[in-house]
């Protein structure tokens, strides 16, 4: 089922569309990487999902088609109807860390979390608070006032606050800001545990693509307030992994030979009758900075191996070209798809 389903979602500020007819789907169990430039509309979209901002137009459904209440907000609905509960408690199932962590600096980390837990009616609040502090690596700083925290510590406390009440959906806007590499690694692991062990669906917006690549199962790329493309982790690696393009005088026969001699490989026929041979569903060679120096080690085919197979089968080769694509370049191309950076993000 889809935890988030947006259809033609619009948020307008004056004459500017911060979000412009955006459609988006996040399935239950996803760790969804929300990627876009500054000002693309990521934060505005997440605020609408969290119920912090009212859409100008379009439709937003939460937890649809499953055991949770279907929550729908439409621009044609009156403000009174929205106040009457068009979300019907759905935001209580959402934890959010959007832009700055919402914490009170003159209180301790424990006090901040306890106040939220008590306000939400959490059963055994102190037990949950201590567990969350341990989860984000602040168990030894619970008694310290937040105003003495570093930026990274505040980010971690913000994450803990978003997890109070055990939400089913977690929205994280640039959660790795201000964190050192060790803390970032620990946070990634914590998010994966939440997803795999507790079934929490997570949406993460970040500019740190290599961090997203380590945890996300699906991606959405937004530009100028519009969704450019959504794809799975597997589809990303299929698009960017090492492959070989081959063209012969007898493409049907060559394809049959390659399929027989290269079990486990992926084959795609091009309109000009060329054949593109790729590794398995996930190419280890698809990475930042280009393909791996040894494609064979990743399971991807090599030009030499394909040439030898076709030569031994008496196939006349017209073209044999290695193809490589850098993941970061791929994302940048998508973010530049409309040719401009988009409306100002709010």
- For the stretch 1-13, pLDDT in tens is 899 999 999 999 9
Question: pLDDT tens digits, residue range 247-272?
Answer: 999 999 999 999 999 988 889 898 99
67 or 51, which is more confident: 51
Q: Tell me the three-class secondary structure of 252-307, residue by residue.
A: HHHHHHHHHHCCCCEEEECCCCCEEEECCCCCCCCCCCCCCCCHHHHCCCCHHHHH
How far is it, in rounded angstroms, from Cα 198 to Cα 167?
Answer: 10
What fold, for 242-324? Alpha-Beta Plaits (3.30.70)
Distance set, CA 180 to CA 142, 146, 150, 186 (Å): 20, 18, 11, 10
Q: Reply yes or no on domain 2-235 having CATH 3.40.228.10.
A: no
Distance set, CA 64 to CA 6, 28, 48, 69, 95 (Å): 11, 10, 16, 7, 18
Residue 299's pLDDT is 55
Residue 329's pLDDT is 85
pLDDT confidence tier of residue 166, bands split at 50, 70 and 90: very high
Show Cβ contacts of residue 132 under 8 Å, excluding neighbours closer than 6 positions: 113, 160, 163, 164
Q: In this structure, what token pair is assigned to residue 132?
A: 């969350």
Question: pLDDT tens digits, residue range 294-325?
Answer: 444 445 678 899 999 999 999 999 999 888 77
281 or 220, which is more confident: 220
Q: What are phi and psi of 299, to 5 degrees?
A: 95, -5
Q: In this structure, what token pair is assigned to residue 121?
A: 């009616």
Domain ranges of the chain: 2-235, 242-324
pLDDT confidence tier of residue 138, bands split at 50, 70 and 90: very high
Express the helix, strand and coil content of the chain in percent, nearest 5 each.
35, 25, 40
Q: Is the pLDDT at 222 greater than 90, yes or no?
A: yes
DSSP H helices, the chain, are 42-50, 79-83, 109-120, 125-135, 151-163, 181-198, 209-215, 233-240, 251-261, 303-312, 327-335
* 306 dihedral zone (left: phi>0; alpha: psi -120 to 50; beta): alpha
Mean pLDDT of the region 44-67 = 86
pLDDT confidence tier of residue 116, bands split at 50, 70 and 90: very high
Strand order in the sheet with 71-74: 16-27, 2-13, 57-62, 71-74
Q: Is the pLDDT at 69 greater than 60, yes or no?
A: no
Q: What radius of gyration do the chain's Cα atoms show? A: 24
Q: Among 65-79, 216-230, 269-283, which is the least confidently predicted range?
A: 65-79
Average pLDDT, the chain: 83
Q: Is the pLDDT at 113 greater than 90, yes or no?
A: yes
Question: pLDDT tens digits, residue range 177-211?
Answer: 877 888 888 888 889 999 999 899 999 998 778 88
342 or 194, which is more confident: 194
Q: Could you write out the DSSP letters of every residue in 204-221?
A: EE-S-HHHHHHH-SEEEE
How far is it, in rounded angstroms, from Cα 26 to Cα 51?
Answer: 16
pLDDT over 70, % of the chain = 84
Residue 338's pLDDT is 60
How far is it, in rounded angstroms, from Cα 236 to Cα 30?
Answer: 15
Q: Is the pLDDT at 171 greater than 90, yes or no?
A: yes
Q: Among 20-24, 257-261, 332-336, which is the least confidently predicted range?
A: 332-336
Q: Is the pLDDT at 85 greater than 60, yes or no?
A: no
Q: Which residue has the tokens 């530049």?
A: 336
Q: Is the pLDDT at 65 greater than 50, yes or no?
A: no
């Amino acid at each position: 089922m889809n935890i988030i389903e947006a259809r033609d979602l619009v948020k307008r500020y004056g004459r500017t569309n911060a979000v412009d007819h955006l459609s988006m789907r996040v399935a239950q169990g996803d760790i969804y990487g929300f990627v876009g430039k500054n000002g693309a509309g990521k934060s505005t979209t997440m605020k609408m999902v969290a119920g912090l901002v009212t859409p100008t137009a379009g439709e937003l459904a939460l937890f649809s088609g499953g055991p949770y209440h279907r929550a729908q907000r439409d621009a044609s609905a009156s403000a009174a109807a929205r106040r009457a509960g068009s979300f019907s408690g759905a935001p209580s199932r959402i934890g959010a860390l959007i832009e700055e962590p919402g914490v009170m600096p003159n209180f301790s980390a424990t006090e901040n979390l306890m106040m939220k837990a008590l306000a939400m009616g959490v059963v055994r609040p102190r037990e949950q608070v201590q567990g969350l502090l341990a989860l984000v690596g602040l168990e030894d700083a619970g008694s310290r006032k937040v105003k003495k925290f570093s930026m990274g510590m505040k980010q971690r406390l913000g994450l803990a606050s978003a997890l109070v009440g055990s939400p089913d959906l977690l929205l994280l806007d640039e959660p790795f800001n201000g964190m050192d590499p060790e803390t970032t690694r620990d946070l990634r692991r914590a998010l994966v545990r939440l997803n795999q062990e507790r079934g929490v669906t997570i949406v993460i917006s970040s500019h740190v693509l290599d961090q997203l690549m380590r945890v996300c199962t699906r991606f959405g790329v937004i530009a100028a307030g519009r969704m450019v493309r959504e794809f799975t982790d597997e589809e990303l690696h299929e698009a960017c992994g090492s492959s070989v393009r081959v063209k012969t005088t007898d493409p049907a026969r060559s394809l049959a030979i390659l399929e027989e001699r290269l079990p486990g490989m992926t084959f795609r026929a091009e309109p000009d009758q060329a054949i593109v041979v790729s590794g398995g569903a996930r190419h280890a060679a698809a990475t930042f900075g280009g393909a791996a120096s040894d494609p064979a080690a990743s399971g991807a085919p090599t030009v030499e191996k394909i040439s030898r197979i076709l030569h031994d089968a008496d196939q006349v080769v017209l073209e044999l070209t290695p193809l490589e694509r850098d993941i970061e370049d791929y994302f940048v191309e998508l973010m530049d798809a409309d040719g401009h950076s988009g409306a100002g993000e709010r």
